[in-house]
Structure formats: C-alpha cells, structure tokens
Structure 1
Amino acid sequence: MPLSEYEQRVLEQLERDLGSDAKLGSAMARASRPRGRYVWAGVGVVAGLGIVVTGAVTQLIVVGVAGFAVMLAAAVWALLAPRPVGSRPVASSGGDARRRKADKGFMTRMEERFERRREQGDI
C-alpha cells in the first residue's frame, strides 16, 4: 500500500532529522570490532567445546565445567571488545546549535515539531 502525501512528508522529515543527529552520526561512524578477535574467540569456543566433550567422555565433571568456563570466557571476550571510535563528523557553522539540538533528545524534538505543526494547522 503506497504512503499518503502526509506520510511521505513525515518520513522525509524523519530521515532529515536522523541525518542531522550528531550523537547518532558518531555512533554509526564507529568501526566494527576487529575480526581477529572473533577468530581467536571462535578458536577458544571450539577448544572449550573439546574440553567439555573430553570431560563427558572421561566422566569428570570438573573437566566439563572447566571447558564450559573456557567457552564462556572466549565468547564474553569477543563480545565485550572495545570498538575503535571512527572519525567524528565535522560540525558546520552553527555546530553549537546542532549540539544543543542533539542534547534535547529525539522524542522532545519530535514533540515540539508536532506542536508547531498543529499550531500552524498542518495537521
């Protein structure tokens, strides 16, 4: 079902607002975690699984628990890796106004914009 003209305008305005959000831009500009860390974590999980299987075959609970701990530690190590921060977007003239706008919060800005439209009779 196609969008109405009003819905298309609102969608375009939301897209523009998301593009001008400094906090969102800096969050999206961050680089992903290094792949090498995921590879080593995968090796750790496979090694831990091998230790768990060894513990099950030998019926030694301590060995199985140690294998599970190795798997869990490898997974947590991969997931909690710090992300390198990418380049921050350069603020154009009026960067202070953009910063203040970003500090307000997305929902607050949307509510203010809705109120302005309602007062102007656009809605």
Structure 2
Amino acid sequence: MPLSEYEQRVLEQMERALTSDDPRLANTLQSSGRRPVVRYVIAGVGLAVGLLVLVLGAASSNVWLGVVGFAVMFGAVGWAFAFAPRAKRGPGGVVRPDGRVGHRPAGGRTKGASGGPGLMSRLEARWDRRRDQGR
C-alpha cells in the first residue's frame, strides 16, 4: 500500500532533519554496504602478476621487463581504487513552508549542511571584515 501525501511529506521532513543533523550517519544509512569485491580480486591478481614480472625482470637483468611489471602493478592498484563508490546525496526533494513537496533547485545547494550560509559566502564575509578593519 503506497504512502499518503501527508506520510510522504513527514518522511521527507524526517530525512531532511537527519541529513542536516548528522550527514555522516545519513550517508552511512543510505549506503548499500556492498563492496566491489570482484574489482579488488582482479586487482589483487594483477598486482601479483605485476610483482612476478618485476621480480623476473630483476632476476634476468631485463630493465624493460621490470618496468612492465611495475606498470602492471601500478595499473592494477589504480584501477581498483579509481572507481570507488561515491557517497549518495541526501533526499531528492524539498518540503516547502506551505507543506508542498518540490524538487531540489537545479543550481544545487546554496546553504551548508547546517542550514546557514555556504562556505564561499562565509569566506567572502570574513575577507570583507578583515579588509574593513585594515582601513
């Protein structure tokens, strides 16, 4: 049975409150918890093969073979961590003061997680205060 509009609004308000109060907890609760195990296994195999080629190159005094082994090791580790799962964003909608639910503004967030002014606004205000004090 789907939620009523009132229940959806209340749920979205609770999500927003949780996200603003403790964003780390909200991200933890929203994450799927599934790790890309196959990617790490393949990277581990690539790392082992690269190390083997590097040692064989050093043992046979072939510099180019050692360089290839190092490149394979470096590529395997880089590939494993290049596509790390990104943190999910908070709720997709915004509850307006009149109670209607709307979409998040296209320009992104203009306020920080605490609901106050954004980082750039605070830095600009601090810069202006310092500049005015110097006069």
**TM interval, short-chain normalised:** 0.5 to 0.7
Whether the 8 Å CA contact 2:20–2:113 is kept in 1: the answer is no
User: What is the rounded CA distance, in whole Å, between the counterparts of 1:61 and 1:28 in structure 2?
Assistant: 49
Give the drift of 1:84. 7.7
Tell me the residue number matched to 1:40. 42
Give the drift of 1:17. 6.0
Bigger strand share: 2
User: What is the rounded CA distance, in whole Å, between the counterparts of 1:18 and 1:106 in structure 2?
Assistant: 14
The one-letter amino acid of 1:104's match is: T
Q: Which of 65, 68, 71 is matched with 1:69 structurally?
A: 71
* TM norm structure 2: 0.50
Q: Which runs of 5+ in 2 are unaligned?
A: 1-15, 119-135
Distance of aligned partners of 1:110 and 1:18 in 2 relative to their CA distance in 1, 3 Å threshold: farther
Corresponding position: 1:103 with 2:109: yes
Across the two proteins, how many residue pairs are aligned to each other? Answer: 94
Q: Which has the higher contact order (CA 8 A, sep 6+)?
A: 1
Identity of paired residues, percent?
32
Tell me the residue number matched to 1:117. none
User: What is the rounded CA distance, in whole Å, between the counterparts of 1:84 and 1:75 in structure 2?
Assistant: 18
The one-letter amino acid of 1:83's match is: P
Bigger helix share: 1
RMSD over aligned CA atoms reads 4.1
Give the drift of 1:71. 0.5
The one-letter amino acid of 1:64's match is: G
Distance of aligned partners of 1:28 and 1:73 in 2 relative to their CA distance in 1, 3 Å threshold: farther
Tell me the residue number matched to 2:56. 54
Give the drift of 1:91. 3.7
Distance of aligned partners of 1:106 and 1:93 in 2 relative to their CA distance in 1, 3 Å threshold: closer
User: What is the rounded CA distance, in whole Å, between the counterparts of 2:92 and 2:114 in structure 1?
Assistant: 24
Tell me the residue number matched to 2:30. 29
Distance of aligned partners of 1:107 and 1:83 in 2 relative to their CA distance in 1, 3 Å threshold: closer
Q: Which runs of 5+ in 1 are unaligned?
A: 1-15, 113-123
